[in-house]
Structure 1
Amino acid sequence: MADEYTDDVWRDKAPLLPSDPHERARSMFLADFIDKKESLTGWRDLVEDIERNKHETVIWYLIAPWAVRAHHIFHFFISTTSFCKDRYAIKISTLHCQEHSHSERREKTICGSVLLLFTAAMADKVALAPEHFAGSPFGVRVRIALAEKGVKYEYCDENSRDYSELLLQMNPVYKKHPILIHNRRAVCDSLIIVQYVDEAWKGKAPLLPSDPYQRAQSRFWADFIDKKVYEITRKIWTAKGEELEGAKKDFIECLKLLEGELGDKPYYGGEKLGYVDVAFVPFYCWFYAYEKCGNFNIESECPKIIAWAKRCMQKESVSKSLEDPKKVYEYVLERRKRFGVD
């Protein structure tokens, strides 16, 4: 986030992020991958996994541009490990060139019935591969962002429990959904997708502020929600005893921090729904499940958060995107049984 802030403030000299929204999204995705892996061993694991399983060329079609653009990182990696540079250099270089020559891809069957069309005809279309549960906060984020922008899209409504090979190849790094496909190119990771949507369709309902500092703050809080709030809330419905009590305490502390950031504003984005709102409000439909599993009341502890969430729900883009809280609770109960919690 500090790098993005630096690039925003001093954008006239040596730009770090590309101007093209898709290229920016890919750069942010790769940087996030490096952060989450915490070491460059991730490169080796990724390449070895691809080679071992002999995945189709489409994986290299997606990864090669990242590796080439991050050549300084790649060079450091191959110079400090036993990684065989010559073995992959030709493949990476060749497929980087092929990126510009492959104008279409054949139809592929997804779970035997649904088709994704990688043809020139889809050049101006948008497709979304959601997660297997409609209440997943990550897929909901993308749906809200697209609705705010008025973007029409098609669902790749496959059975994600089977995780079709094609869509996994779209996100070979984390192998998870959601995935946005625009102009025959894939964008992965829900927060990066939301930023991409904001940049690709700038004309309506801006989600990120124009001021560099405010943009950095928005990214910080969205990252906080992903890395802190999400991990804690998972424990509320998967843990017992002291671990559950600790998770409840940590969750309320997180909500109080978020209340402080909200302040007296109607939304985190100010007078209008913004990036942090889109990142956080999908969790609202899970609050009922958290309360039932944890035997506590969120509104009594953090009334401003509930008031904010209800305000967000007055927006059609939010209310039509969030799942019914009772269905979320049913899903949680089913998962608890599967995990042996109940």
Structure 2
Amino acid sequence: MNALFDILTVRMDYDHKVLVIIDQTQLPGKEVYLELRTPEEIWEAIYLLKVRGAPAIGIAVAYGLALCAERIQGEDFGTFFRQFTMLKNYLAGSRPTAVNLFTALERLEKCVLAHRQEPLEKIKQELWREAEAIRKEDAAACRRIGEWGLSLLQPGMGILTHCNAGHLAVSEYGTALAPIYLGQEKGYHFIVYADETRPLLQGARLTAYELQKAGVDVTLLCDNMASRLMAEGKIQAVLVGCDRVAANGDTANKIGTSGVAILANYYRIPFYVLGPTSTIDATCPDQNSITIEERPAEEVTEKWYAHRMAPRGIKVYNPAFDVTDHRLITAIVTEQGIFYPPFDFSRL
């Protein structure tokens, strides 16, 4: 396994009872690990993108809720559950779009209710087991996503990716980048192009960083340069991750993804969405039911610049995500297989 996987995106330090994450806002300049102890610290780490990527957020919030629940005082279940529910609802407010966050919180709530007749200490132990299960399931799923995704690719392909759906976004390997890492192990020699992903530059700061660290041939480009690459015939496939997949296959991902899908459709390039089945939201019929987070204007006007780069008082539109219409998606790759249009997830 390459040096990239020495980095631990999110883990629980059980000896010291702290949630440990790598602070992704400080990459690629510094590899800094943060120790999170309080609900406020966990909420802030998720909201400020210190931990990001739908699966990694799910793992972090599961560990975080188990950690906070262990500190609840009281002898009776009713008191415990009221405080647990307050913590759950508070953490749920950190990000609105990534379904893994809510799935993880619901799993822990179901765990509590399933053991409500048992002593509180037993319930707290079961919460730790459930949180750890979420992490282990993610690691196994990412490996399988990589294997399914690699079956769609050929050695030497030029691949475009948007945002970061790699090791830093999950517990291990990644989703959209998992086939690239498996291909690297098998000598496929992919040529990867990474969109910088404005305005938060996840492609420039994170994807380029981790691919380079893994020894992959990677080239960074501005988001608006993808069309030129495709016109030159340098892209044979597009691989992206997902934060929420609706029942009809409409997919929410980092802002700019839908534009890449439209370009790929025009140039007849396969557009693949890769993610665990936990990102498929059966309760969400289509894109009209997906809440899109809008973030602060300063991310566009000031962040990353030595000096402000926009007029003061200018209005700013800054959605964190967009939705790719299911008709633009060639296939959705999960740990349970590859789904082709028309998308039917009923067998999951």
Specify the structure having the higher radius of gyration (Cα). Answer: 1
Q: TM-score under structure 1 normalisation?
A: 0.31
Q: TM-score under structure 2 normalisation?
A: 0.30
